Amino acid sequence: MEAGRKPLRIAICGAGVGGAIVAHLLRDEPGVEVTCLEQVTADDHSHAGTGLNVGPNALKILAEADPELVDALKAPGVSLPWRNWRTTLTDGTELMKLPLERVADNEGMRIRWSELYRQLRAPVLDRILFNQQVVSMGYEGSEPGATISIGYQDRATGEERWLEGVDLLIGGDGRYSAVREQFLGRPEPRHLGVVIYRLLVPDTADGLIDDYAQWFNGPNRLLAFRVPGEAIYIAGAFPIPPGAPIADDAKSAEVLRGLYAPAKAAPSRDAAFLIDAICDHVDDIHWARVQEIPPAFADERGRVLLLGDASHAMVPTLGQGATMAVEDACAYADCIRAALRGSGGRPLDVPALTARVAQRRMERVRFVVDFSREASDTMLPGSDAVRDTRAKMEQPFLASLRQVYTGTPALETFGPGAARRRQVG
C-alpha cells in the first residue's frame, strides 16, 4: 500500500457461501481491511441436514480465482462429481439423459451444506466474527463522502459493539437480507406456486441412486443424488396456488405417496426407494415455497453491495442459487482488486466501484434468474412432463444451459489471464 493511504475498510454481513469467499479472496489484498460478521457460531450449520448440487459455472470461476479452494472442495470424502442429468417418469420411462460435458467445460459437484460451509470458511476463520448478529446500520452523515456504521450484537453475551468508518458494506446475509431491507427496502417476493421440500436419508438404496436425477409424475417432481457420508439427498416438489401457505395435511406420508405413485403402473425401483424414504422420514423434512426477488446490486449512495441471495434469490430449479453466489463473490473480489490497482494510490471512488460491479453483473444474473424460472415449467399445473422434459434435450434449451454453465465473467486480476497481463505490462 502507498504510504499514508488509509486502508479500504470493508465489512461483510454474513459468512455464507458468497460472504466467506469474498472475505477469503480479499484477505491478503494490500490496502484492504476486511471484517466479516456472522450471526451463527463457527460449528453451527443451519442447513446441516441437507445437500446441494453446485453448478459447473461455480467451479469454473472459482478455479480461476483460487484453484486450491477447488482442490479442497473436490477432495475425496468432501464432495462427489456431478456429471450427468437424467430425468424419468416415476414409472421408469426415460425422458432425458444429458452428460454435462455436452453443455459445460467442467463438472459440477454434489456436497452436504455443512461440508460446503466448513470448506469455504476454513481459510478465513480468523477474519470471521462468529455469533455476531448485525442489528443496525446506516450512513454516518448526509454528505456525499459519508461512510457507514454497523451495530452488531454478541449472541452469547448480548453485548453490542460498533464498526465505524466502513467504506464498503457487502450484504451477504441471504434471502431475508437485513442489509437490503435497510438500504434498498424490503423486496416483494414473487411466488412460483410450487412447494419444495428437502431431506437427507441414509443410503440404503444399494446403488439405485447416485448422480443427479429427477422423476416426474405429472407436475410432481422428485430430485435426488448421493452425497458423501453414505447419504442420499432428496428434494420433492409439487404445485400449490402461488402465495398460498403449505397446508398441514399436504405434509403427510399418505398425501406425499399419492403425489408420486404412477396411476397405471408400479413405480420403478429407484422411484419406489425415494417414495418410501420420504414417507419413512416425513418428520425430518424441511419445507419451503419456491420464490424469487427482483435482482438489485447497490444502494443509491453507492457504498452498499448485495451478494448472492440478498441480491437475487432465485427459484432453485437449476441449482444456481449457491452457484451464482460463488460467481458473484469471485467477480466482486476481482472488481475490488482491479479498482485498487487502477487507483494509482488515490482514495478509491467507492460509488463508482459499486456501479461498475452492478453494471458488470446485471445482464448475467438476469439471464440466470429468468432461465431458472423458465426451466421450472415442468413443475407447474397443466404441464406435460413428457413433452416439456424432452424439449430440454432440444437446441434452444441446451444452448441456454451451456450459457449458464460456461458464461462466467472474465476475471481481470486472477488466473492465467492476469499473469499474462502482468507480463505484458
**Helix, strand, coil % over all residues of the chain, rounded to 5:** 40, 25, 35
CB nearer to ligand FAD: give 57 or 268. 57
Q: Does residue 13 belong to the site contacting ligand FAD (CB under 6 A)?
A: yes
CB of 362 to ligand FAD, least distance (A): 17
For ligand FAD, the closer CB: 136 or 252? 136
Which CB atom, from 299 or from 309, has the smaller least distance to ligand FAD?
309
CA atoms within 13 A on the CB side of 8: 28
Task: Closer to ligand FAD by CB, 13 or 350: give it.
Answer: 13
Please report whether residue 53 would count as binding ligand FAD according to CB under 6 A: yes
Supply the minimum distance, in Å, between the C-beta of residue 100 and ligand FAD: 14
Closest residue to ligand FAD, judged by C-beta, is 16
Residues 6+ apart with CB under 8 A from 173: 13, 14, 16, 19, 134, 179, 310
Based on CB atoms, which residue is closest to ligand FAD, 5 or 74? 74
CA distances from 103 to 74, 162, 256, 323 (A): 20, 48, 33, 16
Minimum gap (Å) between residue 132 Cβ and ligand FAD = 7
Q: Confirm or reject binding of residue 174 to ligand FAD (CB under 6 A).
A: yes
Answer yes or no whether residue 36 interacts with ligand FAD by CB under 6 A.
Answer: no
- Residue (174 or 262) nearer to ligand FAD, CB: 174
Q: Enter the C-alpha cell of residue 336.
A: 475490488
Q: Which of 217, 323, 354, 372 binds ligand FAD (CB under 6 A)?
A: 323
- Selected from 56, 123, 321, 415, the binder of ligand FAD by CB under 6 A is 321
Does residue number 295 form part of the binding site for ligand FAD (CB under 6 A)?
no
H or E, element range at 8: strand 8-13
Buried b vs exposed e over 53-80: b needs ≥16 C-beta within 10 Å? bbbbbbbbbbbbbbeebbebbbeeebbb
DSSP per position, 160-195: EEEEEEESEEEE---TT-HHHHHHH-PPPPEEEEEE
Q: Does 16 bind ligand FAD (CB under 6 A)?
A: yes
Selected binder of ligand FAD within 309, 327, 334, 388 (CB under 6 A): 309
Cα–chain-centroid distance for residue 105? 20
At residue 87, φ and ψ (nearest 5 deg) are -130, 130
Q: Which residue of 14, 123, 219, 236 would you call a contact of ligand FAD, by CB under 6 A? A: 14
CB of 346 to ligand FAD, least distance (A): 32
Does 199 engage in binding with ligand FAD (CB under 6 A)? Answer: no
Nearer to ligand FAD, 191 or 390 (CB): 191
By the rule CB under 6 A, 196 interacts with ligand FAD: yes
Measured between alpha carbons, how far is residue 87 from residues 105, 199, 220, 395 in Å? 22, 20, 13, 17
Cα distance between residue 223 and residue 233, in whole Å: 8
Separation of alpha carbons 28 and 5, rounded Å: 17
Q: Which of 115, 173, 292, 388 binds ligand FAD (CB under 6 A)?
A: 173
State yes or no: residue 205 binds ligand FAD (CB under 6 A): no
Q: Which value, to the nearest 10 degrees, does the dihedral of the CA atoms of residues 94, 314, 133, 161 take? A: 150
Q: For residue 120, give every residue at least 6 positions away whose Cβ sits within 8 Å of its Cβ, in sequence order, or none.
A: 17, 20, 21, 24, 69
Q: Any contact of residue 56 with ligand FAD (CB under 6 A)? A: no
User: Is 88 near ligand FAD (CB under 6 A)?
Assistant: no
Question: Is residue 331 involved in binding ligand FAD (CB under 6 A)?
Answer: no
Strands 148-154 and 160-166: antiparallel
> Nearest CA to 212 among 400, 345, 79?
79
Site residues for ligand FAD, window 104-133 (CB under 6 A)? 133
Length of the chain in terms of residues written: 425
Does 376 contact ligand FAD by CB under 6 A?
no
Of 87, 320, 354, 413, which lies in the binding site for ligand FAD, with binding defined by CB under 6 A?
320
Structure-block grid coordinates of residue 109: 459437484
Nearer of residues 156 and 352 to ligand FAD, judged by Cβ? 156
Given the complex with ligand FAD, which of 21 and 348 has the nearer CB atom? 21
Chain residues binding ligand FAD by CB under 6 A are 13-19, 37-40, 52-54, 133-134, 172-174, 178, 196, 198, 288, 307-310, 316, 319-323, 325
